[in-house]
Amino acid sequence: MQLEGIKALVTGGSSGVGRALALRLAELGATVIITGRDRARLDAVADVRPGKIIPVVADLADPAAVDTLIATLHRDHPDLALLVNNAGVQYLLDIAGDDPQKTLALAREEVAVNLAAPAALTIGLAPILKRQRQSTIVNISSGLAISPKASAPIYCATKAALGSLTRTTRYRMQDGKLPVRVMHVVLPLVDTPMTTGRGSGKMTPEAVANVITDGIAKDRDEVWIGKARLLRIIAAAVPGVAVRLLRNS
């Protein structure tokens, strides 16, 4: 779809991949609503492209705040044509550890932000997206969806579920001949605050943002980036190897 002149929503636009993506979309001529919990961080991104980026505070772990965000979009942005479900959290936690209460709180937050919020935004904003001549939903996943690591069990599970949700949402849009494309983006390790102190050979958020916007512009269904592309090939050729590849990463 054409990006110039459209209205987009990028969740988690205050940092990392979401920030780079919002700035790239604005550079390509889109007006971009960005969300996050921290007003100052959102404003700092908006200040880079005055008038092109609209900051909206919303805690996606809170279902009431997600409902408010959906209502705000219906009221103020009925021309929304691109939804990017990017916001995410990853906690390293021990699913069989000795502090189940703390672990449960973190696990619930991960499910809320990484899975429940994208599902709610898809359901809540579909009426707007269906009305546009052309629109796109982009769900940001991870190579960890197909090769889960032991130390982030809930994160990996939410990303695997998001991949499934992406596919079934696409089925619904295609079967109903609706003008909504649904794009699955699978990222490798990217150099953002989420991965501080971890791994090497990371991609920059800007490089990732360029590939994603290129995929949106070319109406791609699947965009596997960098080493995630290699993982996809391994998974097709030797699934058992792929599943275990990142186990202790």
Ligand X SMILES: NC(=O)c1ccc[n+]([C@@H]2O[C@H](COP(=O)([O-])OP(=O)(O)OC[C@H]3O[C@@H](n4cnc5c(N)ncnc54)[C@H](OP(=O)(O)O)[C@@H]3O)[C@@H](O)[C@H]2O)c1
The site for ligand X (CB under 6 A) is made up of 12, 14-18, 35-38, 41, 58-61, 86-90, 113, 140, 142, 187, 189-190, 192-195
Of 213, 222, 223, residue with least CA distance to 1: 213
Radius of gyration of the chain (CA): 17
Q: Which of 13, 15, 60, 155 is catalytic?
A: 155
**Residue 107 or 113 having the CB closest to ligand X:** 113
Of 206, 248, 213, 212, residue with least CA distance to 228: 212
**Residue 85 or 135 having the CB closest to ligand X:** 85
Based on the residue annotation, tell me whether 155 is a catalytic residue of this protein.
yes
What is the Cα–Cα distance from 212 to 196, expressed in whole angstroms?
22
Strands 7-11 and 80-85: parallel
Residue 92 dihedral angles phi and psi, to the nearest 5°: -85, 120
**Residue 5 or 38 having the CB closest to ligand X:** 38
Q: Indicate the residue whose CB is closest to ligand X.
A: 16
Angle between helices 63-76 and 117-131 (to 10 degrees): 10
Rounded to a whole number of angstroms, the minimum distance from the CB of residue 129 to ligand X is 20
Q: What are 184's strand-pairing partners?
A: 139, 222
What is the Cα–Cα distance from 71 to 88, expressed in whole angstroms?
22
Rounded to a whole number of angstroms, the minimum distance from the CB of residue 5 to ligand X is 25
Rounded to a whole number of angstroms, the minimum distance from the CB of residue 41 to ligand X is 5
Question: Which residues lie below 8 Å from residue 211, measured CB to CB, with a gap of 6+?
Answer: 223, 225
Rounded to a whole number of angstroms, the minimum distance from the CB of residue 203 to ligand X is 8
**Residue 38 or 47 having the CB closest to ligand X:** 38
Question: Please, are residues 141 and 182 in contact by the beta-carbon 8 Å criterion?
Answer: no
Rounded to a whole number of angstroms, the minimum distance from the CB of residue 30 to ligand X is 18
What is the Cα–Cα distance from 51 to 203, expressed in whole angstroms?
29
**Residue 5 or 199 having the CB closest to ligand X:** 199
Rounded to a whole number of angstroms, the minimum distance from the CB of residue 168 to ligand X is 19
Count Cβ neighbours within 10 Å for each residue of 115-142 and write b for 16 or more, e otherwise. bbbbbbbbebbbebbeebeebbbbbbbb
**Residue 87 or 173 having the CB closest to ligand X:** 87
Q: Which residues are catalytic?
A: 155
